Amino acid sequence: MNPKGDLIARLVALGLGTPTFDAEAEGPAHERTFRVTVRAGGRELGHGEGRSKRDAERAAAEDALERLEDGNAEEEEQEDTAAPQGRWPIYAAVLEGALETALELADDDATLDDVRRDAARLYRDLLADLGHDPEEQG
């Protein structure tokens, strides 16, 4: 289970870009507590707390994923039973692989937008290879 990676993949697929994790440490070194806020697309998505920065980031990512799921459940209740045209299903592991591949193949001077665009193209191509075409939904 990799909540932080899953969140990154989910947000990129939703077109919200990569998240930022803002951490604050409190307390003395032997009893330090970290609080993390995760943001993307100009809004706060989740909060987490832990004894290490890593644990707090994981908790914040889990919180954000839960909130995204809750938001999607509410949206789905309001929509028809048919999936919206042009929407791709989210396969976190496949998207994460597409992102990693796009990053590995990126030129040294590539921008984050270049990598996102290449990752989206790779993801779309992988879905097409699996027989899924978002243009045919509806």
4-49 confidence digits (pLDDT tens): 988 988 888 777 888 999 999 999 989 999 999 999 878 899 999 9
Residue 64 lies in a domain: yes
- Last residue of one domain, picked from the residues 78, 107, 126: 78
Residues 8 and 45 in one domain: yes
Q: How confident is the model at residue 68 (pLDDT cuts 50, 70, 90)?
A: confident
Same domain, 55 and 12: yes
> Residue 128's domain spans which residues?
92-136
Q: What pLDDT was estimated at residue 13?
A: 79
Q: How confident is the model at residue 57 (pLDDT cuts 50, 70, 90)?
A: very high
- Number of structural domains found in the chain: 2
83 located within any domain: no
Residue 54 included in any domain: yes
pLDDT value of residue 110: 80
Question: What is the C-alpha separation between 48 and 55, in angstroms, rounded?
Answer: 8
In CATH, what number is assigned to the domain containing residue 16? 3.30.160.20
Sign of CA dihedral 6, 9, 15, 20: positive
Single-letter amino acid, residue 56: A
Looking at the fold, whether 72 and 36 belong to one and the same domain comes out as yes
Co-location of 73 and 8 in the same domain: yes
Q: Which residues, in sequence order, are bridge partners of residue 23?
A: 36
38 with 46: CB under 8 angstroms? yes
Same domain, yes or no, for 14 and 64? yes
State how far the Cα of 32 lies from the Cα of 71, in Å rounded to an integer.
33
Distance CA 108, CA 125 (A): 24
For residues 101 and 62, membership in a common domain is answered with: no
Residue 84 lies in a domain: no
